[in-house]
Amino acid sequence: MIAALTAGQTQPQKLLLASLSPYFSRDMVSFRADWRKNIGERRYKDFQSYNFEEMADNLPSNTTIFYGTKEGEMYPALKSTCEDAAKISSSKLTAVIDAPHDISHPNYQKAIINSLN
């Protein structure tokens, strides 16, 4: 999340993002009340300050966004965030086959290495 939010200021030559957070201001309207209570009011307000469109607009064109297909099934909002960010920013979107929400999964590792070659 930090890399995505600061890409406009840091101007990286290449940016690899995995499992983008589905917690931006646009998502707070559908945020479940029990989750809001669990994360606390301060963190909820913090999420409200993250502007998704601004973040996506500031991603460099040489960005690759990854998400695992299994994590996309488990967390549809995460998958949508990755897809929307790639579309807005013209970034490359890579769906990592059979990968859960775990960047150490071998399929994730292979996809990341392949994107660097």
Q: What is the pLDDT of residues 44-86, one digit of tens each?
A: 788 777 777 888 888 888 899 999 999 999 988 889 889 988 9
d(CA 30, CA 35): 11
Instruction: Give the residue ranges of DSSP H helices in the chain.
Output: 2-10, 33-39, 41-48, 52-57, 69-74, 76-89, 106-116
Q: Looking at residues 87-108, what average pLDDT do you find?
A: 94
Single pTM value for the model: 0.81
pLDDT tens figures, 9-52: 888 888 898 987 777 777 777 777 887 788 888 887 887 777 77
Structure confidence at residue 113 (pLDDT): 95
Q: How far is CA 27 from the centre of its chain?
A: 13
Structure tokens at 25: 């201001």
Q: How far apart are CA 77 and CA 12, in angstroms?
A: 26
- Angle subtended at Cα 67 by Cα 104 and Cα 115, rounded to the nearest 5 degrees: 75
Greater confidence (100 vs 48) lies with 100
Q: Is the pLDDT of residue 115 over 80?
A: yes
At residue 95, the pLDDT reads: 97
Measured in degrees and rounded to the nearest 5, phi and psi for residue 51 equal -90, 115
Residue 93 has pLDDT above 90, yes or no: yes
CB neighbour list of residue 36: distance below 8 Å, 6 or more residues apart:
44
